[in-house]
Amino acid sequence: MDYKFNNLHNGGNIMTSPLDKFYKKSINERIESLMSAGFIEHEHISNFKQSFSLPEGVSNHMVENVVGTYQLPLGLGMNFLINSKDYLVPMATEEPSVIAAASFGAKTVRAGGGFTTTQEKRWMIGQVILKNVEDPEAMKEKVLAHYDDLVERAHAAHPSIVKRGGGVKDIDVRIIESNPEEHTPEFFVVHLYVDTKEAMGANIVNTMAEAIKDALEIITGGTALMGILSNYATEALVTASFRLDPSLLSRSGLEGTEVRDRIVEASQIASVDPYRAVTHNKGIMNGVEAAVLATGNDTRATSAGIHAYASQSGQYRSLSKYYVDEHGYLVGTLTIPLAIGTVGGSISIHPGAQFTQHILGDPDAKTLAGIVCAVGLAQNFSALRALVTDGIQRGHMALQAKSLAMTAGAVGVEIDVISRKLRRSQPMNLTQAEALLEEYRNQS
């Protein structure tokens, strides 16, 4: 399916009619709104919905032993203004409140000028790990002396990426000393830094790493253990940030400056207490993983790398930082390693992934990384503001009431009716939901 776009991705305001009050619309009305706004072409709604289905002929070749498909809700994060451009951000998640919180956070940040994102470079890292290397410091110099030959071998293994302007950008050597406590020997690790352009690049990097193993054994006299991509993408760091006047932060009778200071303090405890940091970062990942999954990228790879980055100091810490600048504004920043792609893998064959890439305006890989990072920061900001003001449960319980209503068997308009009744009653549990549903149906 070809999706059509008007000038909304070129500075137009997507937060006006027909997308206004998007959350209050039915699913069909939301789809019609996207058509009216020019995000997708006009067609019958049933055809649009069917276009998301993953055909058996595709799913059966994506993974092994296929017996069906497992669906998740796909929603849109609203209000995102990133680098002066408007975005509707597709998010795939099973968790209530995630999309609402990200949209709410983005709405406040939008009022302050939006998010700014940067990713200076996007290199993937391939490792060739060797053992039994005598005089490793001397061998390090010898490996670097063979730089041109190693690059030539790597490029010969995957010439197409070189033609597209990518390829090996640097080579380095790390010597990992033996560790008696862990009973590990010394390892000699050669890093290839590869620009994989628009692809996530796992296959490209793995092919190149394996292509230079034999040469490295000859150069070092050691034994190659493996050649493999590292998902710790420290050469693909992306940063999102925002700056807000405290007047935008007042809530629940609290002055904006007090809310600002509480958010900073919430950031500080997450920086020094790993118990708090894990939950703090989980909130960030609520947004990051939902956007990564929706765009057809690898959630496991990104999650592993991001959590490793949170531990780079030797202690697990918060990924985001908040502080007050010289003008009294709240500044929020998030830096994470994020090597995601716009081509290859499931992106090119999954109809849902193709839709999400299109509705984002078919961004390049660096732009996409910035969007995902901004979603993570919006989610985190929204959660912190709720925690230090109303508490997190106020929003969660409203959505929990809907979940209980559906579990009790409510359908259609019954869901909203029973969830409203549940929020006004105690206790708010499944038994109460079932009783309220039975009462409602008896009166209808």
Q: Looking at the annotation, which residues are catalytic? A: 95, 282, 298, 396
- Encode 127-152: b = buried (16+ Cβ within 10 Å), e = exposed: bbbbeebeebeebbeebeebeeebbe
Q: Virtual CA dihedral for 116, 120, 121, 122, nearest 10 degrees?
A: -10
Euclidean distance between the first and final Cα of the chain, in Å? 43
Joined tokens for residue 74: 């796909």
Beta 237-244 vs 187-195: how paired, if at all?
A: unpaired
Q: Is the dihedral of CA 290, 296, 302, 303 positive or negative?
A: positive
Residue type, 102: A
Q: Which helix (H) or strand (E) holds 126?
A: strand 123-131
Q: For residues 112 and 107, what is the distance between their CA atoms, to the nearest angstrom?
A: 9
The answer to whether 226 and 144 are in contact (CB under 8 A) is no
**Helix (H) or strand (E) segment spanning residue 159:** helix 159-163
3-state secondary structure of 76: strand
